[in-house]
Structure 1
Amino acid sequence: MRILVTGGAGFIGGHLAEAFLDDGHDVTVLDNLEPFYAEGIKRHTLDVHREVAEGRAVDYQFVEGDVRDPETVEALVADADVVVHQAAQAGVRESVDNPRKVTDINVDGTVNLLEASKEADVDRVILASSSSVYGKPQSLPYEEDHPTEPVSPYGVTKLTQEHMARVYTELHGLPTVCLRYFTVYGPRMRPNMAISNFVSRCVNGEPPVIYGDGQQTRDFTYVADVVDANRTLLESDAADGDVLNIGSSDNISIQKLAETVRDQLAPELEIEYESAREADAEHTHASVEKAGEVIGYEPSRTIAEGVGEFIEWYQANREWYEPLVRES
């Protein structure tokens, strides 16, 4: 099948496009190469795509463009069987500083995509949502019917995406699925995330820095598990019109995470603390029971196992990845 991956040069979208190519699908990547973080990581991802496509003898296209451009979106969606929508302005703190931009990209861009998909009668649209839609926890782990009261503009835009997708399913019969990702990490991850930041600092003999007291907890999801969920949905209609949590069903305090990385790489370092950042969630923890029942989703790694794998990957790829992490 022909799959359109928006945001396909980014972290999650890049892994999805790579996996789809390796599975023998034809893939079109749409990405504007926004320099929210080091563009070199995205360029490296595109090189990986080309190598995989050449090895598998499948058709691969990269289009440098923007989901905010209706004509570009319409042209690419018209050729697609399935649309995997990962393009977004990421970053909770970025959304606090620039709410208009995050709304323009995440909401208006998604409407462009849904409208084009409706007209093209695609088989399915799979949209990347976020645990940020939940906001302050009334109970943990989060189940999909937990109240959604996001505490950042980013979370609001992701919740709006979900509602738009639901409306297009109900009004127009467009099959859509929204996946609520819980802090995804792994190879080629964004440099400004806690795990990559801790690893980079410790490798270079610098103490990891925690924003706040470290008692915040996170459910970190290994990127391979996100890929598996999306792979299943390429063929399955079991979740059409629905939302699913995609997490690890595990969580860890930021303090424990920093200690885990520090103890493995530089046990002599003392952890440092700075003021907490506004709009960061205090706790996240996913219930993945529904995803397990509906699409057979099962996390493959504990957080400790996944962090260990990322450290090994970082050390093996340090020559090209670390300079880009350090400049971000």
Structure 2
Amino acid sequence: MKRKVLVTGAAGFLGTRAVAKLAQDYDVYTLARSTDARLPGAIKVLLCDLKDKETLVTLEPLKEMETIVHLASHVPEGFSTTDDLGTLLANNLTGTRNLLDCLSSLKYVCLASTIEVYGRPERVPVREGDSCRPITPYGLSKLFQEIYTDYYCTQNEVALTILRFATIYGQGEKYARAIPNFIKAVLSDRPVQIAGEGNVMRDYVYIDDAVEGIEAALRKRKEGRFNVTGGHPISMKELARLVADLCGKKLKVERRPSGPNSFDNYLSPRNAAKALGFVAKTPLKEGLKREIEYFRHTT
């Protein structure tokens, strides 16, 4: 008999891929605000908003769940320092608290977090023990979510793995970030917008590797915080050149002023490799090829 696992955020970019893969080995339940045609038929969908605790407490399957993969998160568009912190906290913190309060049989949590909890790093690559000083409301809300989940799990003797993802990319991503922005601009023969000289270094993790990071966490169940990254940082100008080359197009660049996030920020993969056995398999070039083909057929 397959073990049960509850996955939140299953309708999201990462969630749809994760539940499809996990359904091969687990009996997957998910919480969702509405049904979604992208979810595999084998998934058992529990309709509820995490902010609605009155409904959550009536869902009997939650009382039997021993394992949860918590992916649900309110993610703002792009980089912003002005997003409504109240909305972010209601979704990313209060929703988490409501959910955990309903899981009376819980033994293990895998929580998806983000590179944004680190803020402006003191050094790169960033290691899990480095300071967390978020510079965005989203990063702050995710750090609060980490802290509360850690508190809850400590108080209730529940094992906790926190995965801090680098920017996840791949076919189907919804948010207006560097990689999809670059691809769409190049394919449309428009200039790629680059801040400053484009020397800022970032790293990325391909969607299938991100899912493998979750699977590795479920296999090992190691407690702690782990960076999940492709492990190959690249500058913005190099990324733009690579996208243009793979599209077979001439690169056009439009410079814009550097913003508050114009600093190097990329993660060390060593701890996840050692403790979880996770090493990203998809080279950036290969992942970009797949996403470019996706945009060629959808735009």
TM-score in terms of structure 1 length: 0.82
Task: Please state if 1:229 is matched with 2:230.
Answer: no
> 1: distance between equivalents of 2:79 and 2:267?
22
Counterpart selection for 1:154 from 122, 127, 138: 138
Kindly indicate whether the alpha-carbon contact (under 8 Å) linking 2:187 and 2:249 is maintained by their aligned counterparts in 1.
no
Normalized per residue, the structure richer in helix is 1
Kindly indicate whether the alpha-carbon contact (under 8 Å) linking 1:203 and 1:266 is maintained by their aligned counterparts in 2.
no
Match of 2:90 in 1: 104
> 2: distance between equivalents of 1:72 and 1:273?
50
> 2: distance between equivalents of 1:166 and 1:255?
38
Structure 1 outlier segments of 4+, above 4 Å: none
> 1: distance between equivalents of 2:182 and 2:283?
18
SS at match of 1:78: helix
Change (3 A) 1:281 1:247: farther
Change (3 A) 1:138 1:82: same
Counterpart selection for 2:37 from 47, 56, 59: 47
> 2: distance between equivalents of 1:150 and 1:191?
20
> 1: distance between equivalents of 2:127 and 2:209?
18
**1:284 is matched by which residue type in structure 2?**
N
> 2: distance between equivalents of 1:137 and 1:88?
23
Change (3 A) 1:303 1:169: same
Match of 2:32 in 1: 31
Match of 1:246 in 2: 228
> 1: distance between equivalents of 2:247 and 2:89?
39
Aligned pairs, number? 294
SS at match of 1:244: strand
Match of 2:289 in 1: 308
Instruction: Give the % identical residues.
Output: 27
TM-score in terms of structure 2 length: 0.90
> 1: distance between equivalents of 2:135 and 2:8?
26
Please, what is the CA RMSD of the aligned residues?
2.1
Counterpart selection for 1:261 from 231, 243, 255: 243
Counterpart selection for 1:176 from 160, 176, 195: 160
- Once the two structures are TM-superposed, the CA of residue 287 in structure 1 deviates from its matched residue by 0.9
Structure 2 unaligned residues grouped into runs of 5+: none
Kindly indicate whether the alpha-carbon contact (under 8 Å) linking 2:33 and 2:47 is maintained by their aligned counterparts in 1.
yes
Kindly indicate whether the alpha-carbon contact (under 8 Å) linking 1:121 and 1:174 is maintained by their aligned counterparts in 2.
no
Change (3 A) 1:14 1:217: same
**2:276 is matched by which residue type in structure 1?**
I
**2:265 is matched by which residue type in structure 1?**
T
Task: Please state if 1:84 is matched with 2:69.
Answer: yes
Match of 1:17 in 2: 19
**2:107 is matched by which residue type in structure 1?**
D
Match of 1:284 in 2: 265
Residues 64-213 of structure 1: pairs in structure 2 closer than 5 A: 64-74=47-57, 75=59, 77-91=62-76, 93=79, 96-117=82-103, 120-213=104-197
**1:297 is matched by which residue type in structure 2?**
F
Kindly indicate whether the alpha-carbon contact (under 8 Å) linking 1:185 and 1:222 is maintained by their aligned counterparts in 2.
yes
Higher mean C-alpha deviation, range 252-261 or range 196-205: 196-205
> 2: distance between equivalents of 1:200 and 1:60?
33
**2:74 is matched by which residue type in structure 1?**
Q
What does the per-residue CA deviation read over 1:24-83, in whole Å, with 9 as the maximum and x for residues that have no partner?
Answer: 4222232337xxxxxxxxx8xx43423xx4xxxxx4233443211123444253243321
What does the per-residue CA deviation read over 1:293-314, in whole Å, with 9 as the maximum and x for residues that have no partner?
Answer: 1110111123223222322343
SS at match of 2:37: helix
Kindly indicate whether the alpha-carbon contact (under 8 Å) linking 2:6 and 2:65 is maintained by their aligned counterparts in 1.
yes
> 2: distance between equivalents of 1:31 and 1:201?
33
> 2: distance between equivalents of 1:180 and 1:114?
20
Change (3 A) 1:20 1:297: same
**2:48 is matched by which residue type in structure 1?**
G
> 2: distance between equivalents of 1:283 and 1:78?
44
Structure 1 unaligned residues grouped into runs of 5+: 34-42, 54-58, 323-328
What does the per-residue CA deviation read over 1:237-288, in whole Å, with 9 as the maximum and x for residues that have no partner?
Answer: 3x22x1111111111111111111122225334111233444x362221111
Kindly indicate whether the alpha-carbon contact (under 8 Å) linking 1:135 and 1:281 is maintained by their aligned counterparts in 2.
no
